[in-house]
Structure 1
Amino acid sequence: MEDGGSVSNVELCNLAYAGRLEELRECLAADRNLATRADQDNRTALHWACSAGHADIVDFLLSLGVPVNDKDDGGWSPLHIAASAGRDTIVKALIRKGAQVNAVNQNGCTPLHYAASKNKHEIALMLLEKGADPDAKDHLKSTPLHRAAAKGNLKMVQILLKHKASPNIQDSEGNTALHLACDEERVDEAKLLVSHGASISIENKEEKTPLQVAKGGLGSVLRRLVEG
């Protein structure tokens, strides 16, 4: 999109997305109410600045006291957007201003779901340290641990388990994080889950245990781990 382009029917939102701080300041000097105006997607300038990663504009908007927890049409808060896009500095600023770490969007996802699936370690730690629920379930009953295990994000699996994520929660298909790790041949993740109490005998809706979905020699490796 050229120079940030036109993403919104509210000019201030376009300036925020394009990173044009001085023009944005001038706009707001003329009409302070624009700071909280929502566009066609129910997004404010803060949403767009988070999306594009313009920390200076985020800081300026937050200094004006704009609402930090407004949601767009999809239920995404600025924190959802910043976490998903991997904007560490912005996540920190939003949390400092009271962003709700357990806010859910229309898919039932919290910011931690996106940090986990996109392997954003620092953001996950910030969220967890501020009380993000490691066992939050989205509309498919999937937790951040399910996402990290399926994607093979080993360090993320470690972070979540360290913050007391439950390894045996089942998603809407009856799969635990271990089922997903085994199905994707995530050997290290599977071993880590088992060492933290993940059961090798829970059945999913297809009546298969993690051992039965494991490929290659992974099943025997896990069995040996459990049998000690």
Structure 2
Amino acid sequence: MSRGSFVFSSNALRSLQLDEEMLERDKYKHRFASQHLLSYTLKKEALGRTPPKSSSVSKPTVCRDVVIQNALYTGNLEATQQLFPRGSTANLIIEPQGGEMRWVARGKGLWSLAYEQELTTPLHITAGRGFAECLKVLLQRGASVDLSPGGITALHESCAHCEPECTRILLMHGANANAVTEDGLMSLHLCSSPESLECAKHLIQYGAAINGRTLDEEDTPLHVAARNGLVDHVELYLRYGATVDKKNDEGLTPLNAACSQPQEPQDLQRYFNLCKMLMKAGADIHTSDQDKHTPLHMACKNVNAHLVELLLASGAKVNDMDYGGEAPMHNILKVACYKLTHSPERVVRALLNYGSIRVWPGALPMVLRHCSQSPQTIEVLLNAYSHLKVNDTWIESVPPEVMKEHKEFYESVFSLARTPRCLQHLSRCKLRSLLEGRLNKVVPRLELPTFVKNYLLLDYRGYVH
């Protein structure tokens, strides 16, 4: 639905059908020539005409011919050649059949009832569907390569639908690689899937602005590629000079955009590789958005353990607070129960080993209630304390079904109400306190058995003692 419009009722539609032709003429008379294509047979009369020079482009003609539309939408090359013989014009505006009548604001307080339809051209139809041979015929017949009746060009269509051959043909015929849609997007911004890589390569070859911004969000192509986890696109853009730390209107750099994007388990490694590439290119890991969320905050929220470990190893500040007063540890604990397949315990463990603040002991029952389905997360948290005051509130915080599923672990937790922590654990806490902030650097270098090193770094055992 267009801006400033609303759906008209079906009863009123029937009563106003007699005005349809007048309203359609009113809609188009200020935009297109009054000439109409009456029938595809009229094109035979153009056989004897002199083909137009490439430098002159005829005004587009509105076409409602169903035969022509069927040939274009099905990619019928033979029919396209017959319907657009040499000497004819392919510079048409296609008005698809159908659509709804709506009240549309015309300016100056006037409203009128009109069909709201998406306009297109033969180039748009063939380019968006990958009909390369039909596209060549239309361009040879003088179709305007940058015509954009619906606010987008044929090049935008071919890139959005990942049609590299059509993209190449349009660019070879002079399509503007930096043309902007009515929504403020360039063609590179529409390369948002892995299949669009070849389109992006063609665009860059023909001068697409590698750091061009979208109109509303001020995203660069690198923002788009990072947000969508497109590793090959990011590598391509960086190779051609994309600026790695430009911010969009929300204060996000490409690295922030990648870290903040929700990730399924199968996406985690891809986003890790992408962020590693951006950081190697010089991306600032300390840059925060308008809400002071750093890449570490975002990676914790999306529970990407590999990425969290990479950021921490690269110097990310583990206790930076956002505007809400929350550190990265808060972000992981709030989502742990929803991201069990992402191994939230690894994120909590990494944060604690790099000196993260711990949960206030009085809030541990609430954390227990919220994260009880991830016993390893609870184990790591509890092993960061030398002493715990376990009481009935702790027992009540674990749902019965979770208690039944992880009975052995939670019985070991609740037994701490009667027994103190063991000497081995107390020794671990003391050593961790002495090495706070340096654990991951010092412990691997100690001449100790591997299992002891892992114990110091809060490895999981399935119980607490």
Match of 1:219 in 2: 308
Q: Which structure shows the higher strand fraction?
A: 2
The answer to whether the 8 Å contact 1:17/1:54 transfers is no
Contact 1:194 1:225 in 2 (8 A): no
Structure 1 residue 44 corresponds to structure 2 residue 140: no
Question: Aligned pair 1:203/2:278, yes or no?
Answer: no
Contact 2:130–2:163 under 8 Å retained in 1: yes
Tell me the amino acid that sits aligned with residue 161 of structure 1: L
- Structure 2 matches for 1:1-228, cutoff 5 A? 9-11=64-66, 12-29=68-85, 32-33=88-89, 35-40=90-95, 41-73=118-150, 75-115=151-191, 117-119=192-194, 120-138=196-214, 139-184=216-261, 186-215=271-300, 216-217=304-305, 218-225=307-314
CA displacement at 1:30 relative to structure 2: 9.8
Contact 1:13 1:48 (C-alpha < 8 Å) held by counterparts: no
For 1:10 and 1:205, the matched residues in 2 are separated by: 52
Q: Matches of 1:181 and 1:141 in 2, distance apart?
A: 16
- The structure showing larger relative contact order (alpha-carbon pairs under 8 Å, at least 6 residues apart) is 1
| Separation in structure 1 between the aligned mates of residue 126 and residue 213 of structure 2, nearest angstrom | 28
Structure 2: distance between partners of 1:48 and 1:97: 17
Q: CA RMSD in A?
A: 2.1
Give the drift of 1:155. Answer: 1.0
Shift of 1:223: 4.1
Count of aligned pairs: 217
**Residue identity in the other structure for 2:93:** A
Measure how far apart 1:176 and its partner are. Answer: 1.1
Look at both structures and tell me which one has the larger radius of gyration over its CA atoms.
2
Deviation by residue 1:180-226 (Cα, 9 ceiling, x = unmatched): 22223521111111111111122211112222222244234124346
Residue deviations 1:79-127, cap 9 Å, x none?
1101111111111111100000011101211111112x12222111111
Q: Counterpart of 2:84 in structure 1: which amino acid?
A: L
Q: Which runs of 5+ in 1 are unaligned?
A: 1-7
Contact 1:51 1:85 in 2 (8 A): yes
Residues in 2 aligned to 1:151 and 1:213: alpha-carbon distance in whole angstroms = 15
Query: Quick one: which amino acid aligns to residue 78 of structure 2?
Result: E
Deviations 1:29-76 (A, max 9, x none): 49924x112023331111111122111110111112211000132x21
Secondary structure (helix, strand or coil) at the match of 1:38 reads strand
- The two structures have a TM-score, normalised by structure 1, of 0.87
C-alpha separation in 1, matches of 2:227 and 2:148: 28
Bigger CA drift: 12-21 or 77-86? 12-21
1:132 and 1:226 map into 2 onto residues whose CA distance is 35
Identity in percent: 28
What code does the residue aligned with 2:92 have?
Answer: R
Q: Could you say which residue in structure 1 is the equivalent of 2:348?
A: none
